[in-house]
Amino acid sequence: MTQWLRFASLAFALILTSHGLWAQSTPFLTDDEIRMLSNEISGDRAFEHIRVLSRWHRDSGTDGYFKAAEYVMQAAREAGLEDVRFIEQPLSGPNYTAHSAELWMIEPVEVKLADIGDHATYLADGSHDADVTAELIWIGGASSAEVNDREVRGKIVLTSGSPTAAVLNAVHSRGALGVVSYQSSESKNPMDYPDQIGWNRIPVRPPEGKPGTFAFMLSPRKGDALRKILETSGMQDFLATGKETKGGRIVVRALVDTEIGTTPGRTGFVEGWIRGSKHKDQQIVLTAHLQEEQGSANDDGSGCGNLLELARVFNKLIREGKMTRPLRDLRFWWVDEIYSEYRYFSDYPEEIGKIIANLHQDMTGANQALGSRVQHLIFAPHSRTSYLDALFESIGTYVILTNNGFLAASRQGGLPRPFTRPIFSARGSRQGYNARFVPHFGSSDHMVFVDGGIGIPAVAMINWDDDFIHSSDDDLHQIDQTQLQRNNFIIGAMAYRLAVAMEQDAPLFFSETFAQGTSRLSNDLKAAAALIRSSGGSPESWKDALMVVEQGVEREQRAMRSAKVFGGMNGSADRMIAEFSKRLEQKGADLREDLRIVYNSIFGKEPGSPKLTPAEVSASRKKPTNVMPLGIYLAKRRGISSKAGGSLHGLMRGEVFAFVDGQRSYYDIYKAVRAEALAAGSWYYGTVTLDDVVSLLDAGVSTGAWTLK
C-alpha cells in the first residue's frame, strides 16, 4: 500500500470513530482555521450592507435594481475584489420603474389609502400611468364568474384575490379602469398578518388593443375595511378618521406615474474575483440575488450582504498572511435571480467546465424567534450528489452542534453554556441555531447550476417557513446578525476549504464522501423496508425496494467519482475510487440480502424475481440526448407543456431533465427519479410513475429539447 493510501485509510478510520468529536471539530478545518474564520466573519458588518440595499425597490430592470448593483460594485471593490464589473444582459420585457403612486378614498371621507413613498409594495409592478377618479366596486376573488355578475365598466374594482386575475377578468374583458387588491403573499393567511402588504405584479404589456392599467395592493385589514364599507348602509366612523359617514358607496382616486421602456430591456449581474494561483479551471462560484421588492432584507439582502462580508474577510486574511492565496478562483456573483445564471451559461457555455462548485445563500439572516423560521441546509438533488454534500454536512453539523444546548455537554459534561463554541455577533441575538439538513429544493439560484444541461454541484441555504417573504414585512427588524454570521461561517469555511485544497487532501474528500454515502444508503434501506412492510409484499413493492437500493448505490458511485477533482493526475486517487467503489458494490449486495431477510421475516416466504412490464421494456429502448448548444436546449425545453409529466412534483420534473445524458434510457431515468422520491417520501416529492416520466420525455422529444437513439 502506498503512503498516500495508508494516509487515506487512517483518515477514514478516524472519521468512523470520531462521532463524539463532531461537536468540537470538523475534519475539514483545523482549530486554528475555525478560529481564523470565526474571529473575522461579522454579522454586524453584513447587516450594514443590508441596511443600504433595503432602501430600494429592486425588481428586475428597475432603477432601484441598478442603484443596488452600483452600491454592490463599489462595496466589492472596497472589500478588495478584483475585476469587479456589471455583466449586462437583455431583459425579456421592458425596463420598468414607478416614480410615484397614491390611492385616495374621496367618498364617503377623504383618506389616503396607499402611497409608494411609504412602501413600494403598495403598487403592483407593471402598473401604467393613471389619474382616475371612479367608484370602487367589490368583485370578490376576481374569478370570471364573480366579475360577470357585476357591472364593472368605468369603475375601479376591489378584490381579495389575484390582481392579475382582476386585470384579465374585469379590466381587459369587462372595461373596468383599474384594480385594488388585498391578496396576501405566498398563500399566507390574511388573519395572521392583517397589516402586511403583499408584493405583486400585473402584466406590463396589455393585450393588443387594450389600454394599460394599474393595481394597488393594500393590507388585508385595510382592504377588508373597504369591503365592509361597501356592504354597510348605516353611519359609522370608517377607518377611524373621527368622522361618521354613511356606507354603501366609495369613490377613489388613483394617481400613478411610471416609466416603461421598450422591449427588450436590460438587466445583469455584478461579478468580482479573488484570483487563484494555480487551478484556473476549478472555480468556486458564490451566489446571492439582488432583485426583490423594497426591503427584502432577508430575501435576499442577507445573502448579498454576506457575500460582501466574505469578500472583505478573505482579502483581509490574505493581506495579513493568515490565509494563503487560494489555489482556485473564487467568483462572487450578485445576480438577477435564476435568470442571470441561465443567460450567462447560454451566452458563455465554455465557462461551465471551469466551475467545480456553487455555494448559494438565500434568506440567511432570519431572526428565528419570529414565527417558525428554520434555516434549511439544502443538499444537491440525487442527480448531482457529490463530495460537496459531504463537506456541507460536516461543517454545517459542526455549527449546529456547537451553537445549540445539549444536556450531556453542559449540565453534566462541564462544557461552556449555553453553547460549546458559540458564534455570536455584537448586536445579534443569543438564540440557538435552528437549522436542519433537507433533501433538495430549488427555486433559487443554485437550481441553475445543478440543472441537467449544466451539471455543476451546488448546495444552498434558504430559511423556511417565513411569514415575511415577498411583503412589506421583510425588513431590517426581522434580521438577526448572529444568524447572518453563523450561515456565513458555513459558506465561508466551505469556500475556503475548496479554494485551498491540495492533492494530499483528496483522501479526506474521498473518505468523507464515502462515510456520508453509507449513511444515505442506510436511509435507503429504511425506506425500502418500509415499502415492503406497507404494501403486503406485493411484487411491485419488492421491485421498488430493490430499485431504491440499486439507485442509491449508483448515486454514491457518482458522488465518489466527483471527488477526483482534488486527486489531480495522481494514480492513487483512481485506486482509492476503485477501492471505495468496490466497497459500495458489496454494500449494495449486502443491502439486497438485508431486504430479502426483511421480506422473509414478515411474509414467511422468499420474494420473487422482479420482471419488467411491457411498458418498462418499451421505455428501456429509448435513450434521450440533449440537443446542443445549451441556449437552444433551454429554449426548446421551455416549450414543453406544463401538462406533460402529469402529476409529477416540480422538483422531480427537474430531475427527469437532469438524468438525461445520452446513456440512460427512459426506464433508467424513471428508476433514478422514482427511487429519489421514494427515499424522501411521497409527502416531500410526490409520486413518480412511469407514465408521467415517459410523457414528459416524449414531450421533450416533440419540442426538440432532446433526440432519441
Least Cα distance to 258 among 378, 125, 373, 351 occurs for 125
If asked whether residues 89 and 139 sit together in one domain, one would say: no
Which pLDDT tens digit goes with each residue over 196-230?
999 999 999 999 999 999 999 999 999 999 999 99
Question: 706 is in which domain, residue-wise?
Answer: 620-709
Instruction: Inform me whether the pLDDT recorded for 22 exceeds 80.
Output: no
* Rounded Cα distance, 636 and 346, in Å: 13
Residue 568 confidence (pLDDT): 73
If asked whether residues 601 and 643 sit together in one domain, one would say: no
- Whether residue 8 is contained in a domain is answered as no
Residue 16 confidence (pLDDT): 41
If asked whether residues 495 and 506 sit together in one domain, one would say: no
Which pLDDT tens digit goes with each residue over 632-683?
999 999 999 999 999 999 999 999 999 999 999 999 999 999 999 999 999 9
If asked whether residues 307 and 376 sit together in one domain, one would say: yes
**Checking DSSP bridges between strand 435-438 and strand 374-378, what pairing results, if any?**
parallel
Q: Hey, what's the cell of 475?
A: 425588513
- Contacts of the segment 52-57: beta carbons below 8 A, 24+ positions apart: 53/290, 53/296, 53/297, 53/301, 53/304, 53/305, 54/294, 54/295, 54/296, 54/297, 54/301, 54/475, 54/476, 55/294, 56/294, 57/98, 57/120, 57/293, 57/294
Residue 569 confidence (pLDDT): 67
If phi > 0 it is left, if psi is from -120 to 50 it is alpha, else beta; for residue 351 that is alpha
pLDDT band at 18 (very low <50, low <70, confident <90, very high): very low
Q: What does the angle CA 515 – CA 388 – CA 544 come to, to the nearest 5 degrees?
A: 60
- Helix, strand, coil percentages in the chain from 3-state DSSP, rounded to 5: 45, 20, 35
SS3 629: coil
Instruction: Inform me whether the pLDDT recorded for 14 exceeds 90.
Output: no
* Rounded Cα distance, 358 and 382, in Å: 16
Residue 682: partners with Cβ closer than 8 Å, 6 or more residues away:
none
Residue 392 confidence (pLDDT): 98
Instruction: Kindly report whether the peptide bond that precedes residue 300 is cis, defined as omega within 30 degrees of 0.
Output: yes
Which amino acid is present at 252? V
- Whether residue 17 is contained in a domain is answered as no
Which pLDDT tens digit goes with each residue over 285-336?
999 999 999 999 999 999 999 999 999 999 999 999 999 999 999 999 999 9
- Whether residue 389 is contained in a domain is answered as yes
Which pLDDT tens digit goes with each residue over 248-282?
999 999 999 999 999 999 999 999 999 999 998 99
More confident: 535 or 592: 592
If phi > 0 it is left, if psi is from -120 to 50 it is alpha, else beta; for residue 655 that is alpha
Q: Give the DSSP H/E element, type plus range, for residue 102.
A: strand 96-107
pLDDT band at 238 (very low <50, low <70, confident <90, very high): confident
Residue 7 confidence (pLDDT): 39
Q: How many domains are there within the chain? A: 4
SS3 655: helix
* Rounded Cα distance, 518 and 583, in Å: 10
DSSP per-residue letters across 318-348: HHTTSSPPPSEEEEEEEESTTHHHHHHHHH-
- Contacts of the segment 64-68: beta carbons below 8 A, 24+ positions apart: 64/97, 64/120, 64/294, 65/267, 65/290, 65/291, 65/336, 68/290
- Whether residue 472 is contained in a domain is answered as yes
- Whether residue 441 is contained in a domain is answered as yes
| 205: phi then psi, degrees, rounded to nearest 5 | -105, 115
With contact defined as beta carbons under 8 Å apart, do 251 and 69 qualify? no
Residue 300: partners with Cβ closer than 8 Å, 6 or more residues away:
288, 289, 290, 292, 337, 361, 362, 363
Residue 25 confidence (pLDDT): 86
* Rounded Cα distance, 212 and 129, in Å: 8
If asked whether residues 398 and 296 sit together in one domain, one would say: yes
Last residue of a domain, one of 593, 611, 629: 611
* Rounded Cα distance, 560 and 274, in Å: 28
CA 100 to chain CA mean position, Å: 32
Last residue of a domain, one of 499, 525, 555: 499
* Rounded Cα distance, 151 and 409, in Å: 69
If asked whether residues 230 and 308 sit together in one domain, one would say: no
Instruction: Inform me whether the pLDDT recorded for 17 exceeds 50.
Output: no
* Rounded Cα distance, 466 and 473, in Å: 11
Q: How far is CA 214 from CA 131, 132, 158, 204, in A?
A: 10, 10, 12, 9
- Whether residue 5 is contained in a domain is answered as no
If asked whether residues 69 and 142 sit together in one domain, one would say: no
- Whether residue 298 is contained in a domain is answered as yes
With contact defined as beta carbons under 8 Å apart, do 162 and 181 qualify? yes
CA 623 to chain CA mean position, Å: 30
* Rounded Cα distance, 650 and 644, in Å: 11
Last residue of a domain, one of 451, 475, 499: 499
Residues making up the chain, counted from first to last: 709
Q: Which residue, chain included where needed, has cell 421551455?
A: 638
* Rounded Cα distance, 636 and 704, in Å: 6
* Rounded Cα distance, 139 and 161, in Å: 9
The predicted model gives 346-353 an average pLDDT of 97
Q: Is 474 exposed, middle or buried (0-12, 13-18, 19+ CB in 10 A)?
A: buried
In the beta sheet, which residues pair with residue 88?
Answer: 268
Residue 89 confidence (pLDDT): 98
If asked whether residues 485 and 506 sit together in one domain, one would say: no
The predicted model gives 458-486 an average pLDDT of 97
Instruction: Inform me whether the pLDDT recorded for 3 exceeds 60.
Output: no
If asked whether residues 248 and 363 sit together in one domain, one would say: no
- Whether residue 418 is contained in a domain is answered as yes
pLDDT band at 12 (very low <50, low <70, confident <90, very high): very low
Lowest mean pLDDT among 9-23, 377-391, 533-547: 9-23
The pTM of the full predicted model, rounded to 2 decimals, is 0.94
In the beta sheet, which residues pair with residue 246?
Answer: 235
Please report, for the domain that includes residue 235, its CATH number.
3.50.30.30
If asked whether residues 562 and 488 sit together in one domain, one would say: no
Average pLDDT over the chain reads 94
Please report, for the domain that includes residue 365, its CATH number.
3.40.630.10
SS3 191: coil
If asked whether residues 239 and 273 sit together in one domain, one would say: no
Which pLDDT tens digit goes with each residue over 366-392?
999 988 899 999 999 999 999 999 999
Q: Tell me how far apart the terminal alpha carbons of the chain are, to the nearest angstrom.
A: 44
Query: Within a 13 Å sphere around the CA of 377, how many CA atoms are in the beta-carbon half?
Result: 23
* Rounded Cα distance, 420 and 403, in Å: 7
With contact defined as beta carbons under 8 Å apart, do 308 and 41 qualify? no
Extract the runs of DSSP E, i.e. beta strands, from 38-95: 82-91
Q: Give the DSSP H/E element, type plus range, for residue 653.
A: helix 650-658
If asked whether residues 471 and 592 sit together in one domain, one would say: no
The predicted model gives 420-426 an average pLDDT of 95
pLDDT band at 408 (very low <50, low <70, confident <90, very high): confident
Q: How far is CA 318 from CA 308, 324, 498, in A?
A: 16, 6, 16
Instruction: Inform me whether the pLDDT recorded for 421 exceeds 90.
Output: yes
Residue 145 confidence (pLDDT): 94
Q: Hey, what's the cell of 144?
A: 370570471
Helices (H) and strands (E) in the chain, counts: 22, 19
pLDDT band at 13 (very low <50, low <70, confident <90, very high): very low
Q: How far is CA 473 from CA 97, 182, 198, 300, 439, in A?
A: 21, 15, 9, 13, 28
DSSP per-residue letters across 241-307: -S--EE-S--EEEEEEEEEE-PSSEEEEEEEEEE--SSEEEEEEEEEEE--SSS--IIIIIHHHHHH
